[in-house]
Amino acid sequence: MNRQTTGGARVANHPLTQLVLSRMREFWRQPAAVFWVYGFPLLMMVALGTAFRNRPVDKIAVTVVAGSQAEAIQKVLQQDERFVGPGGDVEILSPEICRQRLRTGKTLLIVSTDSQSGSNFTFTYDPERPGSVMARDVINNLLQTAAGRRDPATVEDITVREPGGRYIDFLVPGLLGMGLMGGGMWGVGFAIVNLRIRKLLKRYLATPMKRSHFLGSMMISRLLFTVTEVLILVLAARWLFGVVNHGSFVAAAVLVILGACQFGGIGLLVASRAETTETVSGLMNLVMLPMWIGSGVFYSIERFPASLQTVLNLLPLTPLIHSLRSVMQDGVSLLALLPEIGLISLWTVVTFALAMRWFRWQ
């Protein structure tokens, strides 16, 4: 019993344990830090998930030019809820008013039957306006079918609305990676510089602890914060938007831990010699900005040229987000993600080793 008590006291009084506890207390006493670690990713998810949610079919503004077949065309178009006019219903107007509404953007497409070319239907639209070409094809199919066209092959439509293909399903893994990056950089790097400015690192230096104890405590406390951060984001995504993890929760947890270690190491490296908040803020923005833009947080990196994708794939955040999306959306196993895991581990080992070597107490 005494041995157990003595062993527990040793663990509780160990420098690493005390440093972790002090770091956690200090973090919870900073409302701004709590907001940026927990609140900001959650607000981003709610805002973007709401803005890009699955919406009803967009309405297409169509105007019919007055003519002999105008009422028949109007009747066909009004049977489809997608087609409306500037005032609500598909309207029949004079050619001049139709042209004016097309020019001012109040209508997307004009349908007429009076044409010098002798065609039954004439479509007037701007092909560079989004949706105009699609609207032309849909209206043409409706009118041709109403005129008696019979397709030689039968077609069957199967519509599905399953979680996984929405923008919010794509976004959540990106926000998880972004949260791990921000937490590691600001939660570790900025905290170290703050301690250096307040001359607290000098006091730590005078205590019976090793440099590895201090740096290790920063990493461990970051991992503890990561658990609640990820849980809040994942549970909120599930409750608010029905986001489902199609892969293994163990695989996702392993990737989250690796990501937290990776960005904890980068945060340590960035703050290893910075002496002012201005310096560390500039360095962190310099490191994070390319990953915000090019690592696929909000959109796929396939939008960039192929030559640039090679560089972007080497950024620390890119393999982490790709791995999280592969697990959560496609159900991929960790074995299939060994190249990405290897790159994440390499960034972790290299940055932590350099931080251990270059870290300065004052």
- pLDDT digit string, tens, across residues 314-323: 999 999 999 9
Any idea which of 139-148, 230-239, 251-260 has the lowest mean pLDDT? 139-148
Output the pLDDT for position 118.
Answer: 44
More confident residue, 253 or 67: 253
- The predicted structure's pLDDT at residue 117: 47
Q: Distance (Å, rounded) from C-alpha 77 to C-alpha 83? A: 6
Domain end point (choices 114, 146, 178):
146
3 inside domain: no
Are the C-beta atoms of 348 and 267 separated by less than 8 Å? no
65 and 180 together in one domain: no
Q: Which of 133-137, 151-155, 228-232, 328-332 has the lowest mean pLDDT?
A: 151-155
Q: Are residues 42 and 79 in the same domain?
A: no
Q: How far is CA 33 from CA 24, 99, 155, 183, 295, in A?
A: 11, 56, 56, 9, 24
Give me the chain's average pLDDT, please. Answer: 79
CATH code of residue 128: 3.40.190.10
Statement: residue 149 has pLDDT above 50: yes
> Does 102 share its domain with 205?
no
- The answer to whether residue 284 is domain-embedded is yes
Give the pLDDT confidence score for residue 2 in this predicted structure: 53
60 - beta bridge partners? 83
Residue 241 lies in a domain: yes
What angle, rounded to 10 degrees, do the helices at 317-330 and 167-184 form?
A: 140
Residue 160 has pLDDT above 70, yes or no: no
Cα separation, 229 vs 357, whole angstroms: 30
- What is the spatial distance between Cα 274 and Cα 208, in angstroms, rounded to a whole number? 24
Domain end: 146, 175, 196, which one? 146
Residues 99 and 201 in one domain: no
Q: Could you tell me which residue, 2 or 310, shows the higher pLDDT?
A: 310
Q: Is residue 154 part of a domain?
A: no
Q: How far apart are CA 195 and CA 25, in angstroms?
A: 14
**Separation CA 101–CA 244 (nearest Å):** 44
**Based on the domain organization, do 46 and 64 belong to the same domain?**
no
Structural domain includes residue 295: yes
Considering the domain boundaries, does residue 100 fall inside one? Answer: yes
Q: Do residue 123 and residue 243 come from a single domain?
A: no
Domain count within the chain: 2
Q: Please answer whether residues 184 and 266 qualify as being in contact, where contact means their C-beta atoms are separated by less than 8 angstroms.
A: yes
Residue where one domain finishes, among candidates 146, 173, 206: 146
pLDDT over 70 (residue 304): yes
Q: What is the pLDDT of residue 254?
A: 93
Instruction: Place 102 in a pLDDT band, splitting at 50, 70 and 90.
Output: confident
Whether 189 and 68 share a structural domain: no
Please check the confidence at residue 64 and state whether its pLDDT lies above 80.
yes
Report d(CA 41, CA 36) in Å as an integer: 8
> Taking the CB of residue 306, how many other CB atoms lie within 10 A of it?
7
Higher pLDDT: 155 or 325? It is 325
pLDDT, residue 114, reads: 59
Q: Is the pLDDT of residue 330 over 60?
A: yes
Three-state SS annotation for 264-320:
HHHHHHHCCCCCCHHHHHHHHHHHHHHHHHHCCCCCCHHHCCHHHHHHHCCCCHHHH
Residue 193 has a pLDDT of 79
Q: Based on the domain organization, do 64 and 192 belong to the same domain?
A: no
Do 118 and 248 fall within a single domain? no
Same domain, 90 and 230: no
Residue span of the structural domain in which 198 resides = 17-52+163-358
122: β partners:
112
Q: Is the pLDDT of residue 302 over 90?
A: no
Residue at 298 is within a domain: yes
Closest CA to 104 of 122, 84, 126, 120: 126
178 and 305 both lie in a single domain = yes
Residue 153 lies in a domain: no
CA nearest neighbour of 192 among 214, 220, 175, 170: 214
Give the residue with greater pLDDT, 90 vs 325: 325
Task: Determine the pLDDT at residue 105.
Answer: 79
Do 263 and 168 lie in a common domain? yes
